């Protein structure tokens, strides 16, 4: 993996079509409907695919079936996507009444991929639930229902409606080199990092103290954010930085 420093600005594609990095993106197994069919399917919102492609990468979908850590060997980078609540059994906690719709099989799948990516020094971008899984895979825990901690629903204002969150970024970090001193992102979550894993470094927080970004210490590019950068196609800096880090 090359270690060209990420540019702090720009959402343009950074590689030519004949050398596009292969970026794996984790997917969901969910009941789905298309045409006359109603079946379980591996799905992912298209905005992830578009963000990777617009930044100069080739998206490769990684369903939570047949998990094999050796798939890391054919990838140039990995995105751990957002989604449902992380199963509290993943960090030895009792389920909260508001923790619902968990997918333990997906948790196990993503934990395997995260550890394999870190062992291989593969560039890694973890998004929303992905940041939570990064923390859990490395030994951390989660707040299962954030409104009980910060006394507000600001991070998930209503069903299927994204909020806008302002974050303050720690200087001298990879996050700051990409985004500067602060950022505003789209968010939709009711869980968040609680006990931070020993090898994670917090690099951004919201005004209410919620952890909004963290990096794995000792890695060139292993970054998680609590917001959804794929929902802001006019600002692809995180995806552009991911692609550049593979060169």
> How much of the chain exceeds pLDDT 70, in percent?
93
Q: Which whole number is the average pLDDT over 179-186?
A: 96
**What's the rounded mean pLDDT across residues 84-110?**
97
> Above 80 in pLDDT, residue 147?
yes
Q: At residue 5, does pLDDT exceed 70?
A: no
**Res. 167: pLDDT tops 90:** yes
pTM metric for this prediction:
0.92
Q: Would you list the DSSP string of 129-150?
A: HHHHHHHHHTT--EES-THHHH
Instruction: Give the residue numbers marked as catalytic.
Output: 128, 228, 230
Predicted confidence at residue 11, as pLDDT, reads 45
pLDDT (0 to 100) of residue 19:
84
- C-alpha–C-alpha distance, residues 42 and 83, integer Å: 13
Q: Report the alpha-carbon angle 117-74-103, nearest 5.
A: 55
CB 57 within 8 A of CB 66: no
| pLDDT band at 18; cut points 50, 70, 90 | low
Strands 211-216 and 222-225: antiparallel
Q: What is the mean pLDDT of residues 15-42?
A: 90
What are the structural domains, with CATH classification, of the chain?
17-245 (3.40.50.880)
């Amino acid at each position: 993996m090359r270690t060209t420093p990420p540019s702090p600005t720009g959402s343009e594609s950074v590689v030519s079509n004949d050398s596009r990095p292969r970026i794996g993106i984790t997917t969901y197994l969910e009941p789905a409907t298309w045409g006359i069919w109603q079946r379980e399917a591996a799905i992912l919102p298209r905005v992830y695919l578009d963000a990777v492609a617009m930044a100069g990468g080739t998206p490769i979908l990684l369903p939570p079936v047949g998990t094999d850590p050796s798939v890391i060997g054919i990838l140039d980078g990995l995105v751990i996507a957002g989604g449902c609540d992380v199963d509290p059994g993943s960090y030895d906690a009792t389920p909260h009444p508001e923790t619902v719709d968990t997918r333990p099989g997906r948790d196990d799948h993503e934990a395997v991929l995260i550890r394999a990516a870190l062992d291989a020094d593969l560039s890694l971008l973890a998004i929303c639930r992905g940041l939570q899984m990064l923390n859990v895979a490395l030994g951390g825990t989660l707040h299962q229902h954030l409104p009980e901690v910060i006394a507000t629903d600001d991070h998930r204002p209503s069903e299927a409606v994204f909020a806008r969150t302002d974050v303050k970024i720690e200087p001298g970090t990879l996050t700051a080199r990409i985004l500067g001193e602060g950022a505003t992102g789209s968010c939709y979550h009711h869980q968040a990092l609680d006990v931070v894993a020993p090898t994670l470094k917090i690099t951004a927080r919201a005004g209410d103290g919620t952890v909004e970004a963290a990096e794995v210490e000792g890695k060139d590019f292993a970054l998680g954010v609590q917001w959804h950068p794929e929902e802001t196609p006019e600002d692809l800096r995180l995806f552009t930085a991911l692609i550049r880090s593979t060169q």
